[in-house]
Each structure stands twice: as structure tokens, then as C-alpha cells.
Structure 1
Amino acid sequence: MDELRRIDLNLLLTLHAILMEKHVSRAALRLHRSQPAVSHSLAQLRSHFDDPLLVRKGGKFELTTRAEALVTPLSEALSSLNALMAAPDFDPAKAERRFRLALSDYATRAVLPRLTQHVRQYAPGIALIISQASREAMLAQLMDGELDLALGIFPNAPAAITQQTLFCDRFVCVADKHVLPESGVLTLDEWLARPHVMVSLRPDANDEIEQALAAIGRRRHLGLVLPHWGAAVEAIVGTDLVLTIAQRAVDASRLHSDLRLFTPPIELPEFQYQQAWHERRSGDVVHRWVREVVLGVGAE
């Protein structure tokens, strides 16, 4: 405890904001403080740690090696302190929090509407800050403390990341009826002869469909790659494109009259859609409440 007596604990909150934002002005906005006040606190922190902590390189700011090493233990310590100081009887109606949540375009359709409705009704002081990223970027942001929660498919998550299955889904195919045979289905060879749509943030993504094809020594030809599930369904109307997509991403009742759903001609296993968070967040009462809401709406 001797080291704690040597530092104002408010400085640790400032340090955390600087480590997260990697910028004094953005840290000041995050803390609702003036930039000179945060700069003064940074000077004190540099003196205490005998390290510059934040340095400018190539026109942008970067954390020093010492600062990088502080990110995880400081985030864990502050999260534990926050849980310790929180009221034992949590009242969501009184909670105030900016909750950072990463979603795919798929989740914005499958989960976000009901999640938003529930939060606005029962915890209006919680602001949902939504971002979109690849699964690799989501995991990195969870590890760095830049995200509170991520929704997606995470087959190779680090040990520090806790995962919880929200629901299972399966793949279906969608195509314009005018380029389908009368049966409304395609054989594997016919399916592979068509240009395909891939929904991904990265054109070189090795998704579950690519992996299943690789396992039988086949490949598909991509005619369109885009990051938006909803736009992908609309884009194939009047074309020869074939889209293989998660069933929950397709609202059959609103499907364009020229589009038809059919079963993929290759075995594609069901997948588990998950929420993931860093273990340092597990004891946070607000975080736990949001996770329970996400789990509930995901099961609907």
C-alpha cells in the first residue's frame, strides 16, 4: 500500500483515459476535463513512473513500452475498484454509462433493435456506443480495453476472453428466381458455376463457407464482396449472383418477390453466435446487466 500513498488515485483515472485514447485532447473529452488539466496530470504521471508514457512518432501519438504494459493491469484494477464501490443493489434506471459495443451488420438486425428498446425502457442513462470491426479487431479491442462487449463468432479467442452463446443459426442461399431452375435449387457444380456474394469487412476473409469448400477441395468465384448483410440481399435482385447468408439475417416476410431461398448444396454446419468480453469486466454490475439483456433478446 506504500505506493498508493504516493499517488493521487484520480491520476489513475486520467492515466487510464490517456492509455485508452492515446491522445491528451481526446482523454480530456472522455474525462470531461480541460486539456491543460489533463496535460498537467500527465506531467505528474510521467514524473511518478519516470517514463514519458505518451510520445509523438511520425505525426501521431503512441504509448511507450512502459505505458503499454500498464494497460491491462490498470484496467483490471479500476474495474475491480468500480465493482467494489458500486451499490450492492443495482438499479438500472439510475445507471449512467457509455457502453461500448461492437456489432456486425448481422447483429444490428438480429439483436440491436430489441436491445435498444430494452435499454431505453429500463436503463435510459446507459448510452450504447456502437462500432463495427472484423472479429480479429474486436478481440484486440477487448484485450486493450477499448470495447466493453463484442458480438460475433470467435473460434480462436484468447484465454482472457469470456464467450457466451446467444443462439445458433444456419446458412441459407438466396438468388433471383429468374436464374434458378424450375426446382428452385442448384447442384453443387451449378452453385459453384455462379458468381457469389461474400459479406465481409475484408475481401480476403476465410469465412466458414470458404473453409467448408476448402475441405472438399473446391472454391467459389466471388462476384461481389461487401460488409453489409441487408444490402447484400437487395443487391442480388435482377442479377445472376448467389448469396449464402445466415438465416436470421433474412426477413422472409419482407423478401423481394423475385428472390428465392434454398438450401446450400454443401453441408455447412450451424454456427454459434456469441457475446464476448474480457474477464476483467465480469464483476462490473452494469456490464453484467447489459450481458443479461443481450442474452435475453438473443434468445427471442
Structure 2
Amino acid sequence: MELEDIYRQDLSLLIALQILVEECSVTQAAKRLHLSQSATSRILARLRDMLNDPLFSRVGQRLVPTQFALDCYQQLQQPTGQLIEMLTPKVFVPEACRQKFIIAATDYAMQALVPFILPDIYRKAPNIKLEIVPVQHKELQSQLSAQGADMAICRAIGQTLQLNQEFLGKVGVSCLLSPEHPLANSKLTLEDYLRYPHGTIAISDGVKALLDAAIAEQQAPTERLRASHLDSALALLPFQPLLIILPAGMAQLAASKHRLRVKPLPFELPPVNYKLFWHSRCESDKGQQWLRQEIATATQRLLAD
């Protein structure tokens, strides 16, 4: 018999056969199946027709299974046990999880969020595997579906309405400068912002466009450097009076680590909302649900500080 032939059979009848063998009574089997006695008798008739065997003979009030029925019962034990295990809702145990997850993240998230999220995740689920890849803002839908990324930490841009999402928090933009910079001990004015050379770090094209739009009526400042990582800009500080423009969270971390000065932007910038995005294909997976909750909770806490 081919797989297609099995598909056309009512395999639920085989579950009824197991119960009939165990109970040796139509009445008792009907109770377990939550059916009437007559309906269970009709099931037995269908089983006899499907399997081409009488299956039971009546001795007094009991049904005595044939050898064929007993053989079927034994053969059904393993597959039905596996079906029960497969169909029974499982409790997710982080310590036992060995899944691999792919997380797409912005340059900012990779440097200022992920390093602070990972330790607690690995403490709870030491056997998982994580791959962190650059987010593709303009192809986010495809990245989370066809390209296989499980979730993305980024700001909303383009078509994201078809993706599941959870708000993580607002990300600001700050200026970072050396303690030897002429403005180190002064308030940063718009004139200063425009006059000194810039190093733009971990700023996406979308956020860069917001920055440029905010000063559209002014002479654009000189951008000496644009890079994903802060180290490149730090290397230029002894030689250039750079204003390093970068996400606020990164600015605070770098200021503490490298003894630099943080200045707020001298103009208003629309809020940059960060969200966690995922495709519907990952919605119901227990491991995915657990990891999303861990990332969302930790990130919301970081961005609220």
C-alpha cells in the first residue's frame, strides 16, 4: 500500500481498535471514545471491512480478539505512542534546548544591546546556538521569511505591517567628543555642530536622513568618517577635533569606557522607535517564543535606563 492509499483510509479507526482490544467490550469502549454504543458498533463494522478480518468473537458479554486483532494491537503501540508524544503540548525547557537561532540586528544593536543580552540568555539556555547577522532594512520581509532569519532588532522602515512586532523602546542620538576637544567643557550649539568635522558611527541610512533633514536649511557639516564601529573614530580623535555622532546608548557606554564627553544634539530629532520583528512562520515555536520574550524584556529594560 502506498502513502496515498493510507491517506484515503480513516486512521482514527485504528485508535478505536486499540481501545476495543483493551476493553473487550463495545459498551466500555464507547465510554472511552465518548460515543454511543451503536456508533461504536458501526466503527467495529467498518474496522472489519477495512482490515478484512472479524477481529472479535463474542463469548458471553465479552469480545474476544482474534490473533490478527492482537497482532494489530501490538504493532500499533509504538506509532500511536509517538503520535501521542508529538501531539501533546510540550513545556519548553531552556536548559534542554539545542536549537539554532538567527538574529538580524543593526550595528547599534550589535554593539550596545546584544552584548548585554547574551549572558543571561546563555545562562538560562547554555546549549543554544545563536548567529547574529546584519539587518537588511530594505529587505526585512524577505530576510525574515525566505532568507531564514528568525527575528530582527531594528527600527521600523519600509513595509513591516505583515510582520509580527513588539515595541522595545526609543533610541536617541548623541555627540561624543574627546576631553581635549575645544567644546569639551562647553554647551554644544548648532553653530558648533555645523562647524566641526563629524564621524558618523552605527547610524543607519534612515537615521542619517533624519539628521540631515533636521538641519536641511543649514550648510551641511563635513563628514570625515562614516563607519559601523566606534574604534575607527576613536583612532582619529588625537588628530581630528571630531564630533562623533552615534546612538545615545553607545555614546554613554563609550564615554564611560574611554573617558569621553557626551553632548546632546543641539536640535530636535524625531524619536527612533526600536522594535523586535519576526515572521509568522516563527510565531508558534516554543523556543522562538522564549527567546523573543528574553530579548524583548532585556532590551526594554536597557532602553528604559
Which band: TM-score by shorter chain? Answer: 0.5 to 0.7
State the partner residue of 1:119.
121
Cα gap change, 1:253/1:179 in structure 2, threshold over 3 Å: closer, same or farther?
A: closer
Counterpart CA distance in 1 for 2:272 and 2:112 is 14
SS at match of 2:158: coil
Q: Deviations over 1:1-50 (max 9, x none)?
A: xxx949xxxxxxxxxxxxxxxxxxxxxxxxxxxxxxxxxxxxxxxxxxxx
State the partner residue of 1:74.
none
Residue correspondence of structure 1 range 193-232 to structure 2 within 5 A:
193-200=195-202, 206-214=208-216, 216=217, 219-228=220-229, 230-231=230-231
* Unmatched segments (≥5 aa) in structure 2: 6-85
Contact 2:135–2:152 (Cα < 8 Å) also in 1? no
Counterpart CA distance in 2 for 1:86 and 1:193 is 66
SS at match of 1:298: helix
SS at match of 1:286: helix
Residue correspondence of structure 1 range 194-273 to structure 2 within 5 A:
194-200=196-202, 206-214=208-216, 216=217, 219-228=220-229, 230-231=230-231, 234-238=234-238, 239-250=240-251, 251=253, 254-257=256-259, 259-273=260-274
Contact 2:202–2:246 (Cα < 8 Å) also in 1? no
Counterpart CA distance in 2 for 1:222 and 1:189 is 15
- Which amino acid letter does the alignment assign opposite residue 234 of structure 1? L
SS at match of 1:156: coil
State the partner residue of 1:274.
275
Counterpart CA distance in 1 for 2:200 and 2:184 is 25
- Which amino acid letter does the alignment assign opposite residue 111 of structure 2? R
Identity across the alignment (%): 23
Cα gap change, 1:92/1:182 in structure 2, threshold over 3 Å: closer, same or farther?
A: closer
Contact 1:161–1:276 (Cα < 8 Å) also in 2? yes
Counterpart CA distance in 1 for 2:112 and 2:271 is 16
The Cα shift of 1:252 comes to: 5.7
State the partner residue of 2:96.
94
Say if 2:278 is the partner of 1:288.
no
State the partner residue of 1:77.
none
Cα gap change, 1:267/1:180 in structure 2, threshold over 3 Å: closer, same or farther?
A: farther
Counterpart CA distance in 2 for 1:119 and 1:204 is 30
Counterpart CA distance in 2 for 1:285 and 1:152 is 23
Number of equivalences: 219
Contact 1:197–1:243 (Cα < 8 Å) also in 2? yes
Q: CA RMSD in A?
A: 3.1
Q: Deviations over 1:152-205 (max 9, x none)?
A: 112323322122121223221112233324752232122112221222587898
Q: Deviations over 1:239-275 (max 9, x none)?
A: 2111122221131663433x32112111123322221
Counterpart CA distance in 1 for 2:196 and 2:88 is 57
Say if 2:160 is the partner of 1:158.
yes
The Cα shift of 1:103 comes to: 1.8
SS at match of 2:258: coil
State the partner residue of 2:53.
none
- Which amino acid letter does the alignment assign opposite residue 164 of structure 2? T
Counterpart CA distance in 2 for 1:201 and 1:171 is 9
The Cα shift of 1:150 comes to: 0.9
- Which amino acid letter does the alignment assign opposite residue 174 of structure 1? L
Q: TM-score, normalised by structure 2?
A: 0.62
Q: Deviations over 1:117-158 (max 9, x none)?
A: 223222223211111244224443113242001111123233
Decide which of 142, 151, 157 is 1:140's aligned counterpart: 142
Contact 1:107–1:151 (Cα < 8 Å) also in 2? yes
Residue correspondence of structure 1 range 35-74 to structure 2 within 5 A:
none
Contact 2:138–2:158 (Cα < 8 Å) also in 1? no
Contact 2:138–2:157 (Cα < 8 Å) also in 1? no
Counterpart CA distance in 1 for 2:103 and 2:261 is 33
